[in-house]
A = this chain, B = another copy of it.
Amino acid sequence: MDVRVGVIGVGMIGQDHIRRITQVLTGGSVTAVNDVDAARAGQVAAGLPGAHTHDTAAALIADDEVDAVLVASWGPAHEEQVVAAIAAGKPVFCEKPLAPSSAACQRIMDAELATGRRLVQVGFMRRYDAGYRAMKATLDDVGLGAPLLMHCAHRNPSVPDYGFTTDMIISDSAVHEIDIVRWLFGEEIVAASVLTPRRTSHAPDGLQDPLILLLETASGALVDDELFVSARYGYDVRGEIVCETGTVALADVSEVTVRTANRYSGRVPVDWRDRFIRAYDTELQEWLDAVAAGTCTGPTSWDGFAAAVVTDAALEALHTGQRTAVSLPERPEFYAK
């Protein structure tokens, strides 16, 4: 019994998830698609035997042949679609961000809380990366003592020449570390600051790149996150957690070591797909498995909401140059554990 998935939004990421469900993963099929661009929806559906298109997201969600909904539309549309899926009592996987504002995330939480049943998994795929999982397992198992610090770097080779703003370094790139820090440390972020180092000459006009984002957790742990989206040399995500009696760091991921021309060397990934493709696979497989089992696992609406609130604080810190406290309400008991 495959989980029959309806996909809302079939741009690049939506199509990639469709490829994943139909060609890589087990236990799922795509039975319906919807997109604001009806022609694109039609083209994608044409390649999917047995799938049909819907004019509206609402119609797709209501479709009896849709067991679960995957939202990969643009951010501003998420709230309405996710809330509709919740209202229909259907499990929904929503790409990050859960919604573009924390208020919208709050409304999604409220809707989910009202049903009394967890239905939403948010697309923070790093939690499914083998590296981060080994890091968390080390924290949990190896006895390094309390975590005190984390050093992160998030390096992209480049961003588009037009349209990528400094704010997006926070909202699109840093949001990954914001979630992963919450997950690894198992506590909330209570303040954010942003530092603006010397700008690389390779950044597009107007982009302040790199940035350093500083995050403080509830227990006082401090995270420095280098965000460098014009780093040129590769896609390189690094992390080291410093604990009381030791540290744990992401290892390099090259499969082979080459020795030539007076160097030994390994490969740095070329892009996020190269680095995290397996994490996306694992993420969506676990979603399908949970849906089939009638459960819900992974990042919750609360996680999406908390990430949005911290992102807001980080953006304010960027704009004001000041350390900015994060105003997060008490976590509903519903989302504990």
Q: Is the Cβ of A266 less than 8 Å from the Cβ of B264?
A: yes
Interface residue? A337 (CB, 8 A): no
> Which of A131, A231, A252, A255 has the most B CB atoms < 10 Å from its CB?
A255
Residues of B with C-beta under 8 A to A293: none
Name which residue of chain B comes closest to A239, CB basis.
Answer: B256
Other A-B pairs, 18, CB within 8 Å; known A148-B197, A251-B254, A263-B266: A23-B26, A134-B255, A134-B267, A144-B258, A146-B198, A148-B200, A212-B224, A234-B261, A247-B258, A248-B256, A248-B259, A249-B258, A250-B256, A251-B256, A252-B264, A262-B268, A263-B267, A264-B265
CA distance A236 to B262 in the complex (A): 9
State the Cβ distance, A256 to closest chain B Cβ, in Å: 4
CA distance A17 to B95 in the complex (A): 32
Q: Is the Cβ of A265 less than 8 Å from the Cβ of B267?
A: no
Q: Is the Cβ of A267 less than 8 Å from the Cβ of B259?
A: no
Number of copies: 4
Given contacts A210-B242, A265-B263, contact A131 B255 (CB under 8 A): yes
A134 partner, pick from B153, B224, B248, B256, beta carbons under 8 A: B256
Q: Which of A56-64, A73-81, A214-222 contacts B (4 or more CB under 8 A)?
A: A214-222
State the Cβ distance, A155 to closest chain B Cβ, in Å: 8
Interface residue? A145 (CB, 8 A): yes
CA distance A216 to B259 in the complex (A): 23
Name which residue of chain B comes closest to A23, CB basis.
Answer: B26
State the Cβ distance, A210 to closest chain B Cβ, in Å: 6
Residues of B with C-beta under 8 A to A199: 148, 220
Interface residue? A270 (CB, 8 A): yes
CA distance A335 to B24 in the complex (A): 29
Q: Is the Cβ of B263 less than 8 Å from the Cβ of A226?
A: no
**Which A positions have Cβ atoms within 8 angstroms of B?**
22-27, 130-131, 133-135, 138, 142, 144-146, 148-149, 151, 153, 195, 197-202, 210, 212, 214, 216-217, 219-222, 224, 226, 228, 231-234, 236, 242, 244-252, 254-268, 270
A198 partner, pick from B153, B201, B220, B249, beta carbons under 8 A: B220
Q: Is the Cβ of A138 less than 8 Å from the Cβ of B197?
A: no
CA distance A142 to B146 in the complex (A): 30
Given contacts A149-B210, A151-B226, A210-B149, contact A260 B242 (CB under 8 A): no
Q: Is the Cβ of B247 less than 8 Å from the Cβ of A233?
A: yes
Residues of B with C-beta under 8 A to A256: 131, 134-135, 138, 248-251
Residues of B with C-beta under 8 A to A25: 26
A258 partner, pick from B133, B197, B222, B248, beta carbons under 8 A: B248
